[in-house]
Structure 1
């Protein structure tokens, strides 16, 4: 086993750490924490529940981000001290301390790499929260089941990171699984992080719904949109909307399935249709559906601007999101990203929300692709 050049490794880590602090703008982050803390301590904060939840969520995330950066700095200092102790020791103590320093180095490099990915999220909408829609595509009941597996995967990923989620709408399939689902991930940079998931996902397995036990390939589509901010100009005249109300379907608690509280909005100029049925009241469902519609119109406008720029540059815009990942459960176990070649064999872990490796490699791949096309 080759000896580790600890001084060189530590110098590289300090350079990376300095870049992370510069891009994150730690002083501005601390100023934001102070401002949000003052808002959170206001006695009338909870008079407006939605605003209060936004403030406390942003404060929690900012505090977590600051602590994460500070913790890495402390770990880097501790590693340097540990290496100095190893150099001063002799015999078995020296060997054991160097081994411990090696383990600490690898853990620190991994943690630093994860945080460094955040510095790559510099797109216009990357800091936004995300609205994610999953749809079953080709594959019949297997596709509907696969769509539900993906829904659970993303909700579990959010739960692992402590990100609040709000499921706006779920359309259940007749036999199993879902036709579609739309949910919000309420965390800063959720859009920038999850946007690399957009595209077609493919599942290969022995179908549990085929009584002959044949292998089945099914597909599900993932759409990721940024949540509309107050500064965005997304005006929707009432005359451009058709509002339909209906009774919610599928699993639900008291009042959910007993009144016409579900809302479907149709944007007449574009034909875009969104619905929400998971809130308790018709008013809440309409507000949630309107947020999704605004997000889709914002993305439509962004895509049109990008198409114009691509045409001016003569670029081939290409749909890199299509066929972006394969989940193979038979005849072997593997999940592979078809853009980055990142793959893992622990398929159950992936479906339980362990997708950070795919997200990080996707973000790095996208940055490289953006630079190549610039």
Structure 2
């Protein structure tokens, strides 16, 4: 494509955008938008808060998608004019501007193309990400905190709101665990390929002999539950609820009351915690929502495992070691499933992981088509 005339490049991108638009079915989206706008204008809608939020959230997602496609289409038209202007006036600065816009449009159309693959039953949901330090001692705790920063920076780069529910700090450095929400449509579908074990190799900053250390952290991604999704829980017999005082790094108190809440689901052993709110009741409500999400994810995994057994499916879970981050003796980040690799480790750890995420989504959809 590098040797193509700019007009041909624009034509090729326009054809890709047309294919994406056909898959998204903008006409059907427009019909849905009109219906949802009519519902949202009904004063009675807000009598049911949960349904009202569902309607407005869906309306926002559809409007955003349609506006994105239409905006890109208009920018492609404008870009053709910009290239013509640069050629007529022999203006190098205008040509550079047009080249940058062309590359940006190629990236945005590629992102839309990947979005068409996010059609699973829960892909449109917001996500809860949980990170746990694993083997590697203090280096693993430090590594877990590095991963937390990587994902929060990724979300920040995209303008996705996040909310940290709980962080358990390690004694010397780093964190034992953390849970946070990414509050954006399609966050779960986008991030679910990140589920698995992340391996770090580096010279340990905590080793006075400067030896190379390998450490591990586990990343778990589940969809945020809708109010309509529900698993019955008997709080009296199935839950152990502990309250404690929130704390920061090094045991520093961040709250003077026992408002943090830890819930253990006794039948499964699943533990969730929340300490971000001042109110114990708010923390309990958030923790219960997290527990519902994890129980639903577990239920889906069990149902899928049963189907795989019936089919004789021997394909192992995706939740194994999935990415290696090597900082010494060379610089490399490589996904062991997709083969995606880069030597720019600092950019990745600063949240530039879109190439890995896109490759994961394509890989998962390819596997699902094979399995189906």
Query: Scaled by the length of structure 1, what TM-score is found?
Result: 0.86
Distance 1:51 1:355, change over 3 A: farther
Whether contact under 8 Å (1:196, 1:359) holds in the other structure is yes
Q: CA deviation at 1:258?
A: 1.1
Asked if 1:71 corresponds to 2:71, the answer is: yes
Whether contact under 8 Å (1:193, 1:359) holds in the other structure is yes
Residue in structure 1 matching 2:111, options 111, 114, 124:
114
Q: Match for residue 16 of structure 1? A: 16
Say which SS state the counterpart of residue 272 (structure 2) adopts. strand
Residue in structure 1 matching 2:146, options 132, 135, 149:
149
Q: CA deviation at 1:112?
A: 1.2
Tell me, in whole angstroms, the C-alpha distance in 2 between the residues paired with 1:171 and 1:5. 55
Q: Match for residue 333 of structure 1? A: 331
Distance 1:97 1:348, change over 3 A: closer
Q: Which moved more, 1:360-369 or 1:34-43?
A: 34-43
Residue in structure 2 matching 1:230, options 202, 227, 231:
227
Q: Which moved more, 1:25-34 or 1:239-248?
A: 25-34
Whether contact under 8 Å (1:256, 1:280) holds in the other structure is no
Q: Match for residue 266 of structure 1? A: 264
Q: Which moved more, 1:283-292 or 1:59-68?
A: 59-68
Q: Which moved more, 1:134-143 or 1:99-108?
A: 99-108
Residue in structure 2 matching 1:347, options 317, 324, 345:
345
Whether contact under 8 Å (1:57, 1:187) holds in the other structure is no
Tell me, in whole angstroms, the C-alpha distance in 2 between the residues paired with 1:281 and 1:351. 34
Q: Structure 2 unaligned runs (5+)?
A: none
Cα deviation code 1:134-190 (max 9, x no counterpart): 000000000000000000111111111111111111000000000000001100000
Say which SS state the counterpart of residue 324 (structure 1) adopts. strand
Aligned residues: 370
Tell me, in whole angstroms, the C-alpha distance in 1 between the residues paired with 2:278 and 2:38. 32
Say which SS state the counterpart of residue 207 (structure 2) adopts. coil
Q: CA deviation at 1:216?
A: 0.6
Tell me, in whole angstroms, the C-alpha distance in 2 between the residues paired with 1:2 and 1:336. 26
Say which SS state the counterpart of residue 288 (structure 2) adopts. helix
Whether contact under 8 Å (1:127, 1:190) holds in the other structure is yes
Tell me, in whole angstroms, the C-alpha distance in 2 between the residues paired with 1:224 and 1:330. 28
Whether contact under 8 Å (2:247, 2:253) holds in the other structure is no
Say which SS state the counterpart of residue 325 (structure 1) adopts. strand
Whether contact under 8 Å (2:50, 2:227) holds in the other structure is no
Say which SS state the counterpart of residue 74 (structure 2) adopts. helix
Q: Structure 1 unaligned runs (5+)?
A: none
Say which SS state the counterpart of residue 215 (structure 2) adopts. strand
Cα deviation code 1:179-221 (max 9, x no counterpart): 0000011000000000010000011111000011111110000
Tell me, in whole angstroms, the C-alpha distance in 2 between the residues paired with 1:32 and 1:270. 40
Q: Match for residue 371 of structure 2? A: 373
Cα deviation code 1:287-339 (max 9, x no counterpart): 11101100011011100110111111111130233111111111111111111
Whether contact under 8 Å (1:242, 1:267) holds in the other structure is yes
Q: Which moved more, 1:166-175 or 1:94-103?
A: 94-103
